[in-house]
Structure 1
């Protein structure tokens, strides 16, 4: 992937078939030094309800640029993380698959207000009961505008994840104009990252 025009690369520390050790993440980060300096993507670590001790352990071994939280982490926890490390904090907002849930959105957006100032981005994803995210399924995209409005008002970036692949990402971007998109299973073949799918996905994103 060296010098592909991507902005972030994620490494998973949550309970998942993609989970790696902090030592493996440190080795992967060393590869980023092979990229052109101005094009080096930021390294994001993906966690689900981590303890502060777990974050301390990981950050001692690999200095992450982004701490991405996919569980039920509180605003107070995000505040602690933000104050402790010089890293961006991304907070995932998970939706049940195909649930339109406008009433729930009103409540969720009110709760998000507490995170203002403590998160640099929100990431809209499809809820997975086992892992929190990474389901490979889309959610009801018509829910996006309310969150986009909240993000713009609070100067927070908005990413969209959940079931994205080369065939649908252009439609998403052209319709909803998120700050960024997040992909994992959509660029895999038989559970492994596929460089052909990754390249095609990135091309479609840039074209959009």
Structure 2
């Protein structure tokens, strides 16, 4: 079953309103963004989720989105926001990732790969990818990350652009992830009208959505429900 991550949550009311849905991950953005939250705010939302789980319900894992965090920043974030997963969008090295896994045992680590080609800017070379180049890029992370997430490159924030990259770039990344035994998730411009096409064509292990389940910049419960329904109950 494809996992679903809803990213960019900011308030307790919205979190409480979607916990009954079969959502696998809820994401909080600590990097510069209009969806940015403080560690203290995220900590309060994590408590809402943990209370739901304590009551005997299935609960999503919590994900913190960061870009090139310092060790001090990571330590401060996890002190107030006990996350299950750290999602790294920057230029974090394998050595830095290894330090995180050692310093925070039990916390999963997702490495984001930014794809530069959008569907409108598709090029033949990038569309088919180069498995050797991908292996060179990702092999050093093989033993230190728990998932790879493909997202459309954004020059300001690194990701979260709401734009779709060329899905024809997925197969070589997917081949690498399957050989490595590491899940591959896809983000970038996903919405209820196109996620079925992605799942039918490429069957990623998970999908990540944020802007398309918003109305005027606010998370929309109906849109979140429709997206989750489309992913979890497709035929």
Distance 1:150 1:117 in 2: 13
Equivalent residue for 2:168? 142
For each residue in 1:21-51, what CA deviation from the matched residue of structure 2 results, as whole angstroms up to 9, or x when unmatched?
A: 0000010011103435451100000001111
Structure 2 residue aligned with 1:45: 64
C-alpha separation between the residues in 1 aligned to 2:219 and 2:129? 37
- Map residues 193-204 of structure 1 onto 2, 5 A cutoff: 193-204=219-230
Secondary structure at the aligned position of 2:34 is classed as coil
**Counterpart residue number, 2:13:** none
Candidates 153, 168, 174, aligned match of 2:194: 168
Aligned match of 1:91 in 111, 114, 118? Answer: 111
Is the 8 Å Cα contact of residues 30 and 66 (structure 2) preserved in structure 1?
Answer: yes
SS of 2:200's partner is helix
Q: Is the 8 A contact 1:121 1:157 kept in 2?
A: yes
CA–CA separation in structure 2 for the residues paired with 1:84 and 1:174: 39
The structural deviation recorded for 1:105 is 6.0
The answer to whether 1:155 aligns with 2:181 is yes
For 1:27 and 1:38, locate their aligned partners in 2 and report how far apart those are by CA, in whole Å.
18
Unpaired runs of 5+ in structure 2?
1-17
1:35 aligns with 2:52: yes
3-state secondary structure, aligned to 2:184: strand
Residue 179 of structure 1, aligned match among 177, 197, 205 = 205
Which runs of at least 4 in structure 1 moved beyond 2 Å after TM superposition? 33-38, 97-100, 102-106
Distance 1:106 1:194 in 2: 41
SS in 2 for 1:122: strand
The alpha-carbon deviation at position 14 of structure 1 amounts to 0.4
Q: Is the 8 A contact 1:69 1:92 kept in 2?
A: yes
Match of 1:71 in 2: 90
Deviations along 1:156-188, one digit per CA (max 9) or x if unpaired, are 110000000000111111111111000001111
Q: Give the C-alpha shift of residue 106 in structure 1.
A: 3.8
How far 1:103 sits from its partner (Å)?
5.2
**Secondary structure of the corresponding residue to residue 110 of structure 2:** strand
Compared with structure 1, are the counterparts of its residues 112 and 18 closer, same or farther at alpha carbon in structure 2 (3 Å cutoff)?
same
Residue 110 of structure 2 corresponds to residue 110 of structure 1: no
Q: Report the counterpart of residue 9 of structure 1 in structure 2.
A: 26
Partner of 2:41: 24
Please report the RMSD computed on the Cα atoms of aligned residues, expressed in angstroms. Answer: 1.3
* Count of paired positions: 208
